[in-house]
Amino acid sequence: MSSTGSLLSALECRACCTQVEPNHLVGTCPTCGHALLAVYDLTRVDGPRWWSSLAGRPRTLWRYRELLPVQSSDAIVTLGEGCTPTLPLPEVPGAPGVRVQLKDDGVIPTGSFKARGMAVAVSRARELGAAALFAPSAGNAAIALSAYGARARVPVRVYLPDRNTAAVQEVCRRYGAEVVAVAGTIRDAGEAGRAAEKGRGSFEMSTLREPYRVEGKKTMGLEIAERASEEGLPDAILYPTGGGTGLVGMYKAFQELQTLGLCERIPRLYAIQPDGCSPVVRALRDGSARVTPWEAPHTLAPGLLVPAPFASERILEAVRGSHGGGTTVTDGELVEAMVELARRYGVSASPEAAAPYAALPHLVDQRAIRAGETVFLYNTGTGLGFSADELRTGLARTSPST
């Protein structure tokens, strides 16, 4: 067995301060039911020397193996994920004087950033002996779990809202996953999945209901920081927010790098949500400690249709701790942002992934983003599976004037 050198030392609940031994399968905190986060013994590594050593490593997210939870190299399940490109977006309309960069996870295996979290979570679940895996999903997470489950040879069941396209279900089945359609939103799919899986010996892989998907998402921040070693950290990162794991992960990455003496500050994190389902933005504006479920949620972006994200306290902590904020966009703006990213910059983005581009002018108008600042837009997934004309037709059918 070849060791990864992982510095994982415990799992910790920030709600009740319980610490859990990490070398067995565990989901949420056994004391209070909140999210568990991985803790690393960072005193065991020389930060600058470790940072310098990355230059000679393969360009996948596993280059950061000491700050990831998998203990044995033999347990790693990979499709070559991570180290995605950063593209300059010159002269973005509505953002004069702002230096805009786009981090493009649309080119990652399975087509979205969900591959990051699932690569790490499936690897760790396999290492700890999981017999079967399940998760509710709006689409991309189900595809990623199905792919990595196939790679790991671990059975997978995914619970999808029945409004998901037949294409998503077919892709999951192609990877060998069992697909269960559930009426309603991802929240309903989660409740149905947990009820159906009770007593079956399967392990849940839902956002923040297991400890390691966030560690995969953490690599988004590590990659941004590694690139910044030459060009400097961005002032702000705009992120499309559904379940919010990416915000939690990036904030955790920057905190760990600060502890290692490798990062002087944390970029401001901004949660971008559709105006038809924006519980995180509402909680930020109201000063709430946690989100309240969104009433009658609706949006054409399936990955952002999350009316009540689990462990929302951690999401809000990440945004507030970075001195960031949040704003909303309309579904119409999502579609037009998709089209403009493609035609103006050659970037393929899903409706979810187009949200930061759509939101940037709003944040400039609100003076949250200023001329002279460097801003990263996080493109979380490819738009190849979406038709702008079909989305526009859907908007016309649901318009209040029709």
Q: Dihedrals φ, ψ of 164, to 5°?
A: -60, 150
Q: Which two tokens stand for residue 379?
A: 């493109």
Give me the DSSP letters along 143-158. Answer: HHHHHHHHHHT--EEE
The runs of H, that is alpha helices, within 346-401 are 355-365, 388-398
Give the C-alpha separation, 149 to 20, whole Å.
26
For residue 325, give both structure tokens.
């904020």
Task: pLDDT tens for the chain, 402 residues: list them.
Answer: 699 999 999 999 999 999 999 999 999 999 999 999 999 999 999 999 999 999 999 999 999 999 999 999 999 999 999 999 999 999 999 999 999 999 999 999 999 999 999 999 999 999 999 999 999 998 899 999 999 999 999 999 999 988 767 888 999 999 999 999 999 888 899 999 999 999 999 999 998 999 999 999 999 999 999 998 767 899 999 999 999 999 999 999 999 999 999 999 999 999 999 999 999 999 999 999 999 999 999 999 989 999 999 999 999 999 999 999 999 999 999 999 999 999 999 999 999 999 999 999 999 999 999 999 999 999 999 999 888 888 888 886 655 444
For 194, the 3-state DSSP assignment is helix
pLDDT recorded at residue 389: 85
Question: Quick one: pLDDT at residue 353?
Answer: 97
For residue 225, what is the enclosing H or E element?
Answer: helix 213-231
Unique residue bearing structure tokens 């950033």:
113
pLDDT at 231: 76
Q: What's the pLDDT score for residue 398?
A: 56
Quick one: pLDDT at residue 401? 45
What are the structural domains of the chain?
86-112+212-398 (3.40.50.1100)
The C-alpha R_g of the chain, in whole angstroms, comes to 20
Q: What is the pLDDT of residue 385?
A: 84
Give the C-alpha distances (Å, rounded to integers) separating 168 from 151, 164, 257: 18, 7, 37
Residue 199: how many other CB atoms lie within 10 Å:
6
Q: Which amino acid is at 245?
A: T
The two structure tokens encoding residue 180 = 């269960």
Coil, strand, or helix at residue 317? helix
CA 201, CA 133: separation in Å to the nearest integer?
Answer: 9
What pLDDT score was predicted for residue 321?
Answer: 98
Q: Which secondary structure element, helix H or strand E, spans residue 226, and what is its range?
A: helix 213-231
DSSP string for residues in 19-87: EE-SSS---S-TTT---EEEEE-GGGS-HHHHHHHGGGS-SSGGGGGGGSS--BGGG---SS-----EE
